[in-house]
Structure 1
Amino acid sequence: MFVIGGQHGDEPSGWMAANEIAQWQPDTGKLVVIPEADQTAIRDRTYTGDNGNLNRSWTIGSDPTRLLAREIWDVVEEHDPDVFFDLHSSFGIYGSDWGPDGVGQAVHPTPHDYAPRLASAAATYINRNFIPDNYRNEYNFQRGPFSAGDIPTFTGKVAVDLEKPGFTVESTRYEVPLDRRVTWTRRVVTDVLRHRDVI
């Protein structure tokens, strides 16, 4: 399992959840976590750091465009993971008719193997168990559109170049406390792995 967080420094729930996941001790297999991928963006709490937008560096079908992305991809190739998670947060809410537009509160899978089914299952699990009653409906998670390489994102590169299951997890930053977003993000990863009998 490979987890990356912190591609965008102003999305702390992603890199904070990744730091928590990095402490896990799996019973079997291998866990590889890069929790704070773009450290200059995290330091400055900005969307982009010295590397520009790291999550647009993942050129499909060839080497990533930026040195940092190439170094991260070298780690991917070294470990050859079976499943991937990219942890983010959006200001908006995917498909919202009441809040700001965005990709938050969604699990965006690659179209491979079990990924679409488990993205839907994880969204349902979070909604039933971790969305407070006063947040229901407006903040429910759903399965987002496929990450299939139409944009040069990390998960898109996983989808096209590796043809493996991957998930971009996006909580929303819109009027949600940080600790709650971290919990939602971490729990999505946990539920996907639970259904996959990894943990």
Structure 2
Amino acid sequence: MGTGLRGAEVLTRVLRAASRPGLRALADDPRIRRIVEASDEDLAPKVPDDPEAVDRVTVLWKRPDMAEGLADLPWHRDCGMGGHAINCPSAVLTICLTDGSPEAGQLRFLPGSHRGAFPFVDGTDVEAPGGIGLPIEAGDVTMHYSDLMHASLPPTSSDGPYRISVLIGFSPSDAGHHRGERHYNDALLINKDGQIDHLGQRLADGG
């Protein structure tokens, strides 16, 4: 869940989408595997095949005017909170269910950023890099390495429809787990009310 500027709770992300059989099966779908095999790495689903697994399959909804939650993300690496040495090169395959234009909430990438160090930067900051947005339409599939800097920007339109995506994580078959029995998003799920702070605001506050 996330919180809009008016204080209402809004659904922005489902981390246990693998609880739905149709979504759970996507990680092993031959069409998906053919795309993943185009990688230079030997990749396998990042999370074990379990209907209650967190992050095996994630569904993302972009929403306008968000104050908290994971609807909008600053320039970041997915491995930026730890685990790069034993989990990368990992990758995220995205199935686009709707348009991914700036009006719908665009995903942008910073080419070449996997070769060097870059700080987290709020994607809406005037000094933030522009990066490159992909001309994504419904039915498109993208795949990016997790250590490439990318940002999920807020929609520029108040009308919608907004971007909806299905995310499937892959990593080397011999990758380790840097948080024992815990999962990647535990570092974010720290508030007693279950809400996640807007990451751009946490950056501005120095948190």
Q: Shared fold by TM > 0.5?
A: no
Would you tell me which structure has more helix in proportion to its own residues? Answer: 1
Higher relative contact order (CA 8 A, sep 6+): 2
Would you tell me which structure has more strand in proportion to its own residues? Answer: 2
